[in-house]
Every structure is written in C-alpha cells, then in structure tokens.
Amino acid sequence: MSDGIVPVFVGLDYHSSSVQVCVLDQAGKTLGNRACVNEVEAIRGFAEKFGLVRGVAVEACSGASDLAEELVQQCGWYVSLAHPGYVAAMKQSPDKHDKGDAEVVADLCRLGYLPRVWLAPRCVRELRSLVRYRQQLVDERRNTKLRITALLRERRLMGTANRWTKRWMQWFESADLGEHGNWIRQRHLANLQRLSTEIREVENRLEAATRDDPVVNRLLEQPGLGPVTAWVLRAEIGRFDRFRNGKKLARFCGLSPCNASSGKRQSDSGLIRASNPQLRATLIELGQRLRRCDPTYRAMSQRMKLAGKPGSVITAAVANRYMRRLFHRMNTAA
C-alpha cells in the first residue's frame, strides 16, 4: 500500500448499482481495478489508498453527472466527463467489459487525451429534465392526433375546415364514426385534453423556474426567440461562453454541413451527425420561421433559392447563420 504521495489517475465505468474503478500510476501501471458500490465513500476509499488522486474521468451517461458532481464536492477531486463515442473509437477493440472500459478512461485521463464534455451544473440539468419532459408530452399529443387522422381516414372522413381548428374540432366531435369509432374518439379527445393540461402546467413551471435566469432573459430579448426556444437553448447549451466562436456553437447544435471530400472530390453529405435531437429540431423550426418573417433571412433564403439550393439546405443554413450571430450577441455586454 502506498504512503499516499504517489500521484494516481482514476477511471470510472458507471452503472446504476455499481461503479468499476481503475487506478493507474503515472507510468500507466494498473494499481487496482475492481467494482465498488455506487457510493462516493466506497469509490474514494478504494482510489485514495493507492496515492494522491490527480485526475478522475467517467464516461458521460445517465447518472454520471450527479456522481461526478458529488466527487468534486465531497472529495475535492478534478473530475472530467468523457464523450462515450470518442472513447469507444479510441479504444479500437471489439471487446467490451467493465474492467477494460475503466482502464481505457483512466489511461486517457493520464495521458491528457481524454475527449472531455461539459459537466453541466445541477440547475441546468434540472431545467433539462423539465424541457425534455415537456417535449415528451408534445410528442405524445402529436401521436394522438395522428391516430385520430388514421381513424378518420379509415372511414373516408376529412371535414371541410382546417384540421385542429375550433370549427374542425366541432365537426369531429359530432361526426358519426360507428359504435366503436365513437368510443375510440372519446378516448382520444380525453387524452388530448389531459395532455394539453399537462403541457400548460409544465410550461408554467418552466416560466417560474427561469423567471430570474439571466441567460433566459437575455435570450428572450433576441429577435425571433420565444419562451420555448429560449428554454431549449438554455437547457441544452447551458452557457454560450464555453464555446470558442459561433462556428463551434453551430457545430455543437448539429447545423454544420458534414464534409465528405476525398482527393479532387469536394462535397458535403448533409448535416453532421451530432447534437441533441430536440435542440436541432427546435433550431430547424426557428430557421423556417426566420425564412418567412425576418427580412434579412428572407433575402438570404431568396439568394440561395436562386442558386438552386433545396429548401432543407436553406433552412439549415439560416439556422446556422442565426446561431453564429446569437453567439456574439450573448457574449457581448448588454
């Protein structure tokens, strides 16, 4: 057992019930590698008996952020979250087991090659849970509407008014769908009412939770941004000053083209496969609104359209340009 002055590096492979803890010295020698219960004191007791902990790394996953924050607060360790996709690519092995995963993370931490991701503070993680819960409710409401559309299509009924307007809903409630169809309709309508009520409740909670948030208040001052978009940006991006420039921010949001060039062939292959899906979808919807309503982006859209660009590419380019400008606005003193 060490006298406590040998610098060591710790890699953690997180699970809900246990954590695989690997401890390496400065030369990369494995001093210990075993599973501990998912408790800070158990992890600390095992790691510190080998020496002075200089760095700790854990792959980002559900629950890993809470563990990392507890290790920072209770142990005073420097803890980094690692990007799981990049770690898997750097491992270069088809085998997967807890001991090997923890050892790879510890070795990357020791060498300074760890692909770090941002450890969001608890307030941002809590906001993220609320925002994602609202989106789950919205998705469920959309699916219910799709089922109603399928129910009407089976009976070759469409109605004369625009769907989901007050007039259309009155027609739908009075339409004859048959004995079982009428019963199904009542279930769908009750579900729509419940979901609309829950969405309003979670939006009220989001508004109360972000009323004094300086980032959200600054976002709401920006042209084209409403409360829902501001909540999503705050929850998924967190801080704008953690990015080096607007290009890095746009790439994080999944709005940058994916380069597919080789030799003399120079081309793109759609958007990069990155970002939180809800964040990118929200920004694509924002790009569509800006193309119609904002004179600057409407002119940009027209120029790209005349150049032969398809609508999907134009919308993504508008969202990309907006996020680059938003980066500078958010990092400039008001």
**pLDDT tens-digit readout, 239-288:** 999 999 999 999 999 998 887 666 777 667 788 887 899 999 999 999 99
For the chain, give every residue range classified as CATH 3.30.420.40. Answer: 7-117
This prediction's pTM: 0.88
Q: Is the pLDDT of residue 193 over 50?
A: yes
**Range list of β-strands (E), the chain:** 7-14, 18-25, 30-37, 52-59, 79-82, 116-117, 257-259, 268-271
CA distance linking residue 147 with residue 142, whole number of Å: 9
Spatial CA neighbour of 210 closest among 230, 225, 180, 190? 230
What architecture (CATH level 2) is domain 7-117? 2-Layer Sandwich (3.30)
Residue 278 is predicted with a pLDDT of 94
Q: Is the pLDDT of residue 2 over 60?
A: no
Residue 333 is predicted with a pLDDT of 60
